Structure 1
């Protein structure tokens, strides 16, 4: 069956709002290392990794063996009403890695569920439905997480279970304060935070939730230290700080294991998902024990932290740590960033290179006035695909190319990707 035929079947039974990449969408049917093959036999170097989810790559023996071993027991599922050994082992490891003192861990099935759990616990703990979030943010597609998403392209409803106020600071490139030094930029954003609390809330805010680097928002990155400065103000009011590490966790940003560590602060809670399972569905939250234990009603998670997903996740973390993939993300990320900056020197359409480690993006603009250029962005994404490279797209205006390959990426593969990207930009001339 051709991709075109499969696409027709997709359109007949799937929602119109379920967006697909490319003029002619593809089915990925096989993978090995950092490369995948589509249903028509075309091979690609994968630089988006299932939206930052296949963190280690494809067909990794250690992860496959861990899943097979669990399956061989005949137990794929029991639910959280029973003890789950791999869940406990994984929780112990994440709690230690979190840096949060005496941390406790709750497992769900996705980043959306993780952020929903964080909202529930924070509002319960503070007895307040007031929440602070960042402009240009994205935290999931459920009712509560859509409500705290500061990007209208991904927020389908004005209805909300929480009272949300949005802050300045995360999207530096198009901020009204972008021409300030980093120190002055942080100062005005902190002043804005304090002003928002004092003028638009009753003071007893539950939490601020923020992505250290905004994922769907186009890998928008604030100056290091911004959230550390925010935390000082939050602590004055007793407001909890939740770091959404769904895309920035597990060493992907290179210099740090968690994205928030670049800001010199330990949050009250962190949410996680995506890369933890290397393709298996898992998410969760790690938090201070008093926050995690503040829920007074009964609760559970039917599928969260099931034996299969936690076996895969435990093997993924072990592989990541044993092979020091955080260091590799830093090295290959620096190589890729240098290559992108070199392209930017040749092509004024590449307005901004940003991100950290193997979480990098380019913002595509009209050189005449620096306005967002979504059409050229779509063209470039298609051109890279035609040359055998898969990259993501995003940003508030749909004009950002996102690159987040598996963290096992090699030097040779990085060079190959840079050459494909340069060839794709050459089609603009």
Structure 2
């Protein structure tokens, strides 16, 4: 069945669509933190469709909201008033921690980052953008252009002039040997040097924790230090919270809150929709209202996705899932670090956002083949995880935020067995 579907997939869909596993699976259904394939095999889902199933599969509150809205109307566009869209935007503005916040809803994180770049470049009248090395911001023409990861950039053509700065990842940074304060100082010096050689930059876009880049991050406070430099020059700071938002890091609701300064623009997606196609941009009214042309969104903020996302966000807030991420994450970190395998270079991240950097024993040299082997072994042991990093050697572990202590222990046991199976 799966082999036939794989052949049909390859025949009709682009060859550049990545598919996991030597023997790919079709996920037929999900419930809670578990999914089942078409052969009836059960798996603990520790990746959530790329950090998208934020709460849990088949969350009753979300499915009910979708069904009720679908029974009324599914689509209307932003040309008409839309109560679910406004209620969701109001809720997001309330939790945003952005002053005088306005919200524009999109269909994806890519589109959200596209919109943020449009706002910044239009307001600043500049196509110069600062981005972080090792970053990822989407698959559109503009977001591929600013992505600092060669694995995801198929073209050198660009609507922007992009300058990449240090700080987004530490493990393989030339400043890796420095303590936190000196690391931040070195990255700030690099930023200043880059700015001294550019024109009027529009914005810096940065993920507080780099998702596709392998869950890498700087010390807390780096982007706050960057913000001081940027604001002296009128440059906007865009925080890409597509993967870090909504309490996943445990310590904070938004990843940027670990850095002691407030961004000018925040983008989000993935988890808020719990699987629905939902993203958006948050900015103060002064910035959000600055576009000098008409615009609409055909699908952004549709009644059905807004109703489902609102139910999901309210569930997350009512059940304090940020606190659960802070509670369930540490045992996973501790258990993975305790393995002591020579193929583990680093275990990093925050909350329920965990990266395991797989290396050749005795070195920091990335080992993508070993990471793929662990991914396959984890599947055999009944756990689905992700893979990323510049070199494709980082295991990405991001369970739904309703994860229980028993499920965390079960998943950890499977991950330990998988890593030990691959360790020479």
TM class by shorter chain equals: over 0.9
Q: Which moved more, 1:225-234 or 1:418-427?
A: 418-427
List alignment gaps of at least 5 residues for structure 1. Answer: none
Q: Residue 72 of structure 1 aligns with which residue?
A: 71
Q: Residue 380 of structure 1 aligns with which residue?
A: 374
Tell me the distance in 2 between the aligned counterparts of 1:218 and 1:3: 29
Q: Residue 132 of structure 1 aligns with which residue?
A: 130
1:122-148 deviations in Å (ceiling 9; x for gaps)? 000001111000000000000000000
Q: Are positions 1:351 and 2:350 aligned together? A: no
Structure 1 residues 170-181: aligned runs within 5 Å = 170-181=168-179
Residues matched between the structures, number: 423
Q: Using the TM superposition, give the Cα deviation of residue 422 of structure 1 relative to its aligned residue in structure 2, in angstroms.
A: 1.2
Q: Residue 34 of structure 1 aligns with which residue?
A: 33
Q: 1:392 aligns with which of 381, 386, 391?
A: 386
Q: Residue 323 of structure 2 aligns with which residue?
A: 327
1:195-229 deviations in Å (ceiling 9; x for gaps)? 00001x11x11000000000000001110000000
Q: Residue 54 of structure 2 aligns with which residue?
A: 55
Tell me the distance in 1 between the aligned counterparts of 2:249 and 2:82: 31
Q: Are positions 1:306 and 2:287 aligned together? A: no
Q: Residue 107 of structure 1 aligns with which residue?
A: 105
Tell me the distance in 2 between the aligned counterparts of 1:59 and 1:135: 37
Q: Residue 185 of structure 1 aligns with which residue?
A: 183
Tell me the distance in 2 between the aligned counterparts of 1:292 and 1:136: 28
Q: Using the TM superposition, give the Cα deviation of residue 273 of structure 1 relative to its aligned residue in structure 2, in angstroms.
A: 0.3
Q: Residue 209 of structure 1 aligns with which residue?
A: 205
Q: Are positions 1:272 and 2:271 aligned together? A: no
Q: Using the TM superposition, give the Cα deviation of residue 369 of structure 1 relative to its aligned residue in structure 2, in angstroms.
A: 2.5
Q: 2:402 aligns with which of 394, 405, 408?
A: 408
Tell me the distance in 2 between the aligned counterparts of 1:245 and 1:165: 21
Q: 1:294 aligns with which of 290, 293, 304?
A: 290
Please tell me whether the aligned partners of residues 131 and 205 of structure 2 are also in contact (alpha carbons under 8 angstroms).
Answer: yes
Q: Residue 237 of structure 1 aligns with which residue?
A: 233
TM-score normalised over the length of structure 2: 0.99
Q: Give SS of 1:352's match.
A: strand
Tell me the distance in 2 between the aligned counterparts of 1:194 and 1:94: 34
Q: Residue 242 of structure 2 aligns with which residue?
A: 246
Q: Give SS of 1:67's match.
A: helix
Instruction: Give the root-mean-square deviation of aligned CA atoms.
Output: 0.7
Q: Give SS of 2:10's match.
A: helix
TM-score normalised over the length of structure 1: 0.98
Q: Residue 17 of structure 1 aligns with which residue?
A: 16
Please tell me whether the aligned partners of residues 249 and 255 of structure 2 are also in contact (alpha carbons under 8 angstroms).
Answer: yes
Tell me the distance in 2 between the aligned counterparts of 1:32 and 1:96: 30
Q: Using the TM superposition, give the Cα deviation of residue 426 of structure 1 relative to its aligned residue in structure 2, in angstroms.
A: 2.0
Tell me the distance in 1 between the aligned counterparts of 2:209 and 2:375: 21
Q: Give SS of 2:396's match.
A: strand
Q: Using the TM superposition, give the Cα deviation of residue 176 of structure 1 relative to its aligned residue in structure 2, in angstroms.
A: 0.4
1:399-424 deviations in Å (ceiling 9; x for gaps)? 00000010000000000111111111
Q: 1:367 aligns with which of 353, 361, 367?
A: 361
Q: Residue 95 of structure 2 aligns with which residue?
A: 97
Tell me the distance in 2 between the aligned counterparts of 1:40 and 1:13: 23
Q: Are positions 1:84 and 2:113 aligned together? A: no
Please tell me whether the aligned partners of residues 151 and 390 of structure 2 are also in contact (alpha carbons under 8 angstroms).
Answer: yes
List alignment gaps of at least 5 residues for structure 2. Answer: none
1:171-204 deviations in Å (ceiling 9; x for gaps)? 10000000000000000000000000001x11x1
Tell me the distance in 2 between the aligned counterparts of 1:263 and 1:339: 27
Hey, which bits of structure 1, 4+ residues long, moved more than 6 A? none
Q: Residue 423 of structure 1 aligns with which residue?
A: 417
